[in-house]
Amino acid sequence: MKGSSDEKLKNDLKELIIAECDLDITADEIGDDDTLFGSDSPIGLDSVDALQISIAVQNKYGVVITDSKVLRRVMKTINTFADYIQPE
């Protein structure tokens, strides 16, 4: 199953982001297509958050993302992130 179709994976990613970035929101407040980083993001993550999230994803899913440009593309939204972790 492609990651963006896997509701459990997407919810797990939202919970991971909330925990790692110490956000005071619920998973329901992060839309699957909401931009995660930058000024147009409802949650406004930054590069330090990206590093924390990438380490947590590496530990939980065994997925390593070392290139910052790839990281920004992969973590654009919950759907793009889920598709990268679980391509099919």
* Tens-place pLDDT, residues 19-38: 999 999 999 999 999 999 98
Q: What pLDDT does residue 72 have? A: 85
Per-residue pLDDT of the chain (88 residues; tens, 9 = 90+): 899 999 999 999 999 999 999 999 999 999 999 999 988 899 989 989 999 999 999 999 999 988 888 988 999 999 999 999 999 8
Q: What is the 3-state secondary structure (H, E, C) of the chain?
A: CCHHHCHHHHHHHHHHHHHHCCCCCCHHHCCCCCCCECCCCCCCECHHHHHHHHHHHHHHHCCCCCCHHHHHHHCCCHHHHHHHHCCC
Instruction: List residues bridging with 45 in a β-sheet.
Output: 37
Candidate CATH numbers 1.10.1200.10, 3.30.365.10, 1.10.20.140, 3.30.300.130; the one for domain 3-85: 1.10.1200.10
